[in-house]
Structure 1
Amino acid sequence: MEVHAALAALAEPTRFRIIALLAERPMTVGEVAVALGALQPQTSKHLQALEAAGVIRIHRLGRRRVATLDRDAMGAIAEWFSGLAAPQADDTVLAEYAAGIAAVQERAADGPRGAAQHLVLERVIPAAGPDVWHAWTDPRVATLWWAPRHFDVVRCEVSPTPGAPVSLVLREGDGAEYSSVGRVQEVEPERRLVYELSPVDAEGRPQVRVLHDVVLEPDEAATRVRLTLRAEGAGPEAAPMLAGLQPGWEQLLDGLAELLAVGRRTRRPLGWEA
C-alpha cells in the first residue's frame, strides 16, 4: 500500500463514508449501497477503488461480496501520520522565536527608541581553552560552526587582533543571504575577545549595532564560555533580529561543542575540511 494512493482514494467524500461504515463492521456490497442511499453499480466502483488503494478487502463468498476494512493498512496510515505529528526540536525553536519577536516588539513600543538590550549566555564546552579560542578566532574553523541550523556560512572573517575586520555572510536554503560586519575591539589572548558584528541591509547599512563580549574560563579539560551580547540603536523593525539572538547563539554554541568533541574523539586538528 502506498500512503499517497490510499489518501487520494479516501479523500473522495463517498469513499470516506464507506470507510467509516466498514470501521463498524464488515458489510455486503448491497448493505453499503443501502447505507449510502446509492445504486449498487456506483457503490461497486467506489469499493473497487478502495480495494485497489489497499485500504479495504472484498471477500467473494460464492454469490456474496463482503467488504472489510484492512486494519493493517489503516494502522500503517495512522503510523505515518503519527510520525508527522512527532514533535521536532525546530518546532520549539520557531515557537520560541515567534514569542521572542512579540516580546521585543512590545518592549520597543513601551520604551525609548534604540534602548540597549543585553543578553548573557553561558556554556561549558568540553575542550581546553586554547582549542575553544582557536575555534572562535580562526576563520577556517569558525566557518564549520558559526551558523544556526538550516544556514550555511558563505564567508567568515575574524582575527584576534584589535581593529581587525569581522564579517559573516550566511545563506539560507532558498538562496537568501544575510551579512554582518564589524571590528575587533579588545583582545586578551585565549581569555577574552570583544568585537562588533552587526547585521547590515542590502546597501551595507547597519540595522542595529551588536557588541559581542566572549570570556573563556578554562578548567582542566573543559572551558566555561560566557557570551555577553549588547544590542544598541534598534527600532521596532529590528525585532526579528533581536529575538533571534538567543536561539541563534544557543545553536551556535551547540555546534561549537559538537565540533570540538569530534576533534577530541578523532584527535584531528581543528581546521580540517568539513
Structure 2
Amino acid sequence: MAVESDRVHAILAVLAEPTRFRIVETLAIRPHTIGEVAAVLGALQPQTTKHLQALEAAGVVRIHRLGRRKLAYLNRAALDEVAAWLGGLSVATPDDVALERYADAVAATEARISDDPAGHATTLRFLRTIPAPPARIWEAWTDPRLLARWWAPRHFEVEHSRLDAIPGGHVELRLREADGARYASAGTVSAAEPGRRLEFTLAPLGADGEPLFDAVHELTLSGRTRCRMELTIRVAGADAAAAPMIAGLEPGWTQLLDALADVVARRP
C-alpha cells in the first residue's frame, strides 16, 4: 500500500506542473509526435522533450520510436491507478458521516435555542438490551477501572473518571483529545439503588468551573440474565453557546453506550 501511495504521489507531483498537465490532456485525445505536442503548446521542441521525459520517468507517458519518429502516448494503466487511489479517498468513513450529522444537529439545536429565549430544554432517551445481568452493567457504571474503558467518545481518552454511586456522591469526568485539549464535566449523584437505578447530574464545565447547563441523567436497569438498560437525559438552562455540546449528547452517548456494551461483553 505504501509503495502504491508513493507511486501515486510521484505521478501527482509531475501532473501539478501546468504544461505537463496540458500535455496529458493533449495525449488523452490520441498519441502525438513530439513535434505535434510542441506545436499544440506553442513551445520549442527541446522544452517539450524535457516535459515528456519527466512524464515518462513518472510512468505517465510512454515514448514509442517508429523509425525517425517519436510517438508519445499515455500510460492509461498509471492513470487508472491514480483514479482508483483518489476514488478510495472519496469514500466516506463513519467519522465523516457522524461529523455531518453532528453539524446538522448543531444547526438545529441553535435554531431551537434561539426560539426559546427562556432557556432551551430537551430530553434524550437511549435504550439498550445487553446479554448480561444488571449487576454487571451496574459494575461497569460504578467501577472506576471499567468506567475509564468506555466513558469517552471516539478519538478521546479518559484522563479521570469517577462516579460515587451514593446520594451526594461525586461525578467527575475529564477527557483529553489527541491534540492535548482537555474537557471537564462534573455533577452529583442524587439517587442510587444498586443494580436498579441511578440518577445524577453531569454537565460540561466552563472556564470558571461552573456547569454550562443543567443535565439530569436517569439510568434504570431491569431483567435477570439480559439487562434492559434505559438512560434518560434531561437538559435545561442552555444558551446558544452551549448548542454544540447539547447537539453532541446524542451521538456522543450513542458511542459511549455501544462501548459500554462491548466492555461488558468482554469481561469474564
CA contact (8 A) 1:139 1:159 kept: no
Q: CA offset at residue 219 of structure 1?
A: 5.0
Query: Which ranges of structure 2 fall in alignment gaps of 5 or more residues?
Result: 1-5
Q: CA offset at residue 190 of structure 1?
A: 0.7
Equivalent position SS for 1:206: coil
CA contact (8 A) 1:215 1:225 kept: yes
Describe how 1:164-243 pairs up with structure 2 within 5 A.
164-218=169-223, 220=225, 222-243=226-247
The amino acid that maps onto 2:211 is P
Runs of 4+ in 1 over 4 A off after TM superposition: none
Query: Which ranges of structure 1 fall in alignment gaps of 5 or more residues?
Result: 268-274
TM-score by length of 2: 0.93
CA contact (8 A) 2:112 2:120 kept: no
CA distance in structure 2 between the partners assigned to 1:80 and 1:173 by the alignment: 27
Q: CA offset at residue 53 of structure 1?
A: 1.7
CA distance in structure 2 between the partners assigned to 1:186 and 1:242 by the alignment: 24
CA contact (8 A) 1:138 1:159 kept: no
Bigger shift: 109-118 or 180-189? 109-118
TM-score by length of 1: 0.91
Q: Which residue of 1 aligns with 2:138?
A: 133
Bigger shift: 147-156 or 35-44? 35-44
CA contact (8 A) 2:14 2:58 kept: yes
The amino acid that maps onto 1:237 is A
CA distance in structure 1 between the partners assigned to 2:47 and 2:130 by the alignment: 68
Match of 2:12 among 7, 19, 32: 7
Match of 1:30 among 25, 31, 35: 35
Match of 1:79 among 70, 84, 97: 84
Q: Which residue of 1 aligns with 2:264?
A: 260
Q: Which residue of 1 aligns with 2:3?
A: none
Q: Which residue of 1 aligns with 2:113?
A: 108
Q: CA offset at residue 249 of structure 1?
A: 0.4
Describe how 1:32-51 pairs up with structure 2 within 5 A.
32-51=37-56
Q: CA offset at residue 76 of structure 1?
A: 1.2
CA contact (8 A) 1:170 1:179 kept: yes
Count of aligned pairs between the two proteins: 263
Give a deviation string over 1:44-93, Cα, whole Å, max 9, x none: 11111111222122223332222121122111111111111011111111
CA distance in structure 1 between the partners assigned to 2:68 and 2:227 by the alignment: 79
Give a deviation string over 1:193-231, Cα, whole Å, max 9, x none: 1111111012211111211111112253x3222110011
Match of 2:62 among 29, 53, 57: 57
CA contact (8 A) 1:181 1:200 kept: yes
Residue 40 of structure 2 is aligned to residue 68 of structure 1: no
Match of 2:248 among 244, 248, 273: 244
The amino acid that maps onto 2:259 is G
Q: CA offset at residue 153 of structure 1?
A: 0.4
CA distance in structure 2 between the partners assigned to 1:124 and 1:17 by the alignment: 60
Match of 2:150 among 145, 151, 158: 145
CA distance in structure 2 between the partners assigned to 1:259 and 1:185 by the alignment: 26
Equivalent position SS for 1:149: coil
Bigger shift: 52-61 or 9-18? 52-61
Equivalent position SS for 1:204: coil
CA distance in structure 2 between the partners assigned to 1:88 and 1:125 by the alignment: 27
Go from structure 1 to structure 2 and tell me whether the alpha carbon gap of 1:219 and 1:26 turns closer, same or farther (over 3 Å shift).
farther
Q: CA offset at residue 152 of structure 1?
A: 0.5
Q: CA offset at residue 147 of structure 1?
A: 0.4
CA distance in structure 2 between the partners assigned to 1:36 and 1:101 by the alignment: 51
